[in-house]
């Protein structure tokens, strides 16, 4: 696929990852909406929530265990934080991704 996240995952566009596993990458959002704004992205191309099936059960468990790790790493648990998945017209990159936002909000996403 040709979306920007696929290109980053294939390393056609350079990007420093905060975390990488066989199935996921994590890097900061280029245009942060909060003090902490990380993107948790499956390497496998899924367009969005609408493409998830029961086959993706393990992937979803891995995503939330990485969110758990990041919440601890970024000391967000005593703070305000949120996990956001945009869809439909609210989604700008057509590749499933989870936003982890924490601290002071700069704008609505």
Site residues (CB under 6 A) for ligand AMP? Answer: 4, 29-31, 39, 86, 91-93
Is 97 a residue of the active site? yes
Residue 55 C-beta: closest distance to ligand AMP, Å: 23
Q: Which is nearer to ligand AMP, 31 or 54 (CB)?
A: 31
Q: Are 3 and 95 contacting, i.e. CB atoms less than 8 angstroms apart?
A: yes
Coil, helix or strand at residue 98: strand
Cβ neighbours around 70 below 10 Å, total: 20
Q: Which of 37, 92, 95, 97 is catalytic?
A: 97
Q: Which is nearer to ligand AMP, 23 or 33 (CB)?
A: 33
Cite the active site residues.
97
């Amino acid at each position: 696929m040709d979306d920007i996240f696929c290109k980053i995952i294939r390393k056609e566009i350079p990007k420093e990852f905060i975390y990488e596993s066989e199935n996921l990458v994590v890097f900061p959002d280029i245009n942060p909406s909060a003090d902490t704004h990380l993107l948790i992205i499956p390497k496998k191309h899924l367009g969005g929530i609408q493409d998830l099936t029961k086959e993706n059960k393990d992937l979803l468990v891995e995503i939330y265990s990485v969110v758990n790790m990041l919440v601890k790493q970024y000391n967000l648990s005593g703070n305000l934080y949120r996990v956001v998945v945009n869809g439909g017209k609210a989604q700008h990159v057509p590749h499933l991704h989870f936003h982890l936002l924490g601290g002071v909000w700069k704008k609505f996403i």
